């Protein structure tokens, strides 16, 4: 009388255990796959072109190497303008009517954290990396 019931219990244990083993194997295979095939990391690649006027963000443009060249005319609130040229090689102010022309003479900027500043127009243009905060930008 005991034997059949033990066998029944054994059967009941055996089948969930089999499922568990299968699940464990699947998990193991899954984690192995995750180790062997790490997901492509999109972080660290996204850069942005940020244009600030008087400390206010005017433009925040995703910057990619394959980006088409374009010019952006930025009007200063008190009159005047800057022309920002963006292409895959970097950013630069090509034209401005400010008296000192410092922004134009800043030339090409292709790396992060080196802003082009036009003081008379209170304009800052920079390439921003993924980790950079705007707090770092001051006149
Ligand atoms: Zn300037």
Residue 32: per-residue pLDDT: 80
Quick check: helix, strand or coil at residue 112? Answer: coil
How many Cα atoms are found within 13 Å in the side-chain-facing hemisphere of 31?
A: 5
CATH class of the structural domain 47-136: mainly beta
Question: What's the CA gap between 41 and 45, in Å, rounded?
Answer: 8
Give, as residue ranges, everything with CB less than 5 Å from ion ligand 1.
96, 98, 103, 118
Locate the domains of the chain by residue range: 1-39, 47-136
* Ligand 1 center from residue 104 Cα (angstroms): 6
- pLDDT attached to residue 8: 64
In the prediction, which pLDDT does 134 show?
52
What is the per-residue pLDDT for 7? 65
Residues of the chain with pLDDT under 50: 41, 136-139
At 71, which helix (H) or strand (E)? strand 70-75
Taking the centre of ligand 1 as the mean of its atom positions, its distance from the CA of residue 129, in whole angstroms, is 24
């Amino acid at each position: 009388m005991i034997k059949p019931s033990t066998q029944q219990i054994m059967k009941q244990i055996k089948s969930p255990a089999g499922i568990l083993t299968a699940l464990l194997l699947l998990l193991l295979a899954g984690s192995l796959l995750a180790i062997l095939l790490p997901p492509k990391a999109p972080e660290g690649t996204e850069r942005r072109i940020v244009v600030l006027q008087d400390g206010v963000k005017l433009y925040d443009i995703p910057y990619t190497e394959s980006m088409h060249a374009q010019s952006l005319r930025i009007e200063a609130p008190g009159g005047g303008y800057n022309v920002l040229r963006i292409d895959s090689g970097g950013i630069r102010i090509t034209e401005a009517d400010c008296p000192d022309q410092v922004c134009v003479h800043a030339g090409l900027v292709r790396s992060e954290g080196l802003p082009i500043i036009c003081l008379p127009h209170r304009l800052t243009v920079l390439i921003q990396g993924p980790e950079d905060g705007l707090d770092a930008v001051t006149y």
